[in-house]
Amino acid sequence: MSTSKPEDQRYLARAVALSREHMEGGEGGPFGAVIVRDGTILAEGWNQVTSAKDPTAHAEVTAIRRACQAVGDFSLEGATLYTSCEPCPMCLASAYWARVSRIVYANTRQDAAEIGFDDSLIYDEISKPISERLIPMDHLPSLEAKAVFDAWADKDDKIAY
Ligand SMILES: [Zn+2]
């Protein structure tokens, strides 16, 4: 069931405008994002992977970081993420970590794949058993690593998230 709202077109158009502006400015790929809560734009982001030499500088992650800084909180509960393209697995995971309440997107992951941004490899990797993934992962259990977890569990003044 669609939950679209009247203002969606306006905010999504802003995300798309950012994607064109910064792509044409040579900052990175053609992706833009806007985070809105209670009728206010908390932050905007755009892809800066190549200009910042940061493979995690996707539009959505950038917008999430800026929005959290703007509101002084690690949670964006109640906020909507508008993005010019369906989020990749990293950005989708970031939206979950940030407690974003809703995502609105324009281009699909299939559209992105057609211009060379293919997320399907990563989606496929996540569902594979660890032993079958392309990047080898070795499990080396550590008593100290576990002790740190135990210390966190017992920590009285921790900020849970
Ligand atoms: Zn992404």
Summarised one tens digit per residue, pLDDT across range 131-146 is 999 999 999 999 999 9
CA distance 144 to 136: 23
Ion ligand 1: residues, CB within 5 A, are 58, 88, 90-91
* Percent of the chain as helix, strand, coil, to the nearest 5: 45, 15, 40
pLDDT of residue 3: 77
- Are 80 and 11 in contact by the 8 Å Cβ rule? The answer is yes
Would you state the pLDDT for residue 1? 54
Over residues 64-78, mean pLDDT: 98
| Pairing assessment for the beta strands 80-85 and 32-37 based on DSSP bridges | antiparallel
CA 146 / ligand 1 centre spacing (Å): 31
Q: How far is the CA of 155 from the centre of ligand 1 (A)?
A: 34
Strand ranges across the sheet with 80-85: 40-46, 32-37, 80-85, 102-107
- Contacts of residue 71, Cβ cutoff 8 Å, sequence gap at least 6: 37, 42
Whether residue 14 is predicted with pLDDT greater than 70 in this model: the reply is: yes
Cα Rg for the chain, rounded, in angstroms? Answer: 18
**Residue 99: other Cβ atoms inside 10 A:** 14
Q: What does the pLDDT read at residue 35?
A: 98
Residue 154 alpha carbon to ligand 1 centre in Å? 35
Output the CA 147–ligand 1 centroid distance in Å.
34
Average pLDDT, the chain: 96
Q: pLDDT at residue 107 above 90?
A: yes
Q: How far is the CA of 90 from the centre of ligand 1 (A)?
A: 5
**pLDDT 10s digits, 118-134:** 888 899 999 999 999 99
Q: Which residues are part of the catalytic machinery?
A: 60
- Provide CB contacts within 8 A for 14, sequence distance 6+: 32, 34, 41, 44, 82
The rounded Å distance from CA 104 to ligand 1 centre is 14
Confidence check: pLDDT of 101 > 80? yes
pLDDT value for 118: 86
**pLDDT score at 5:** 87
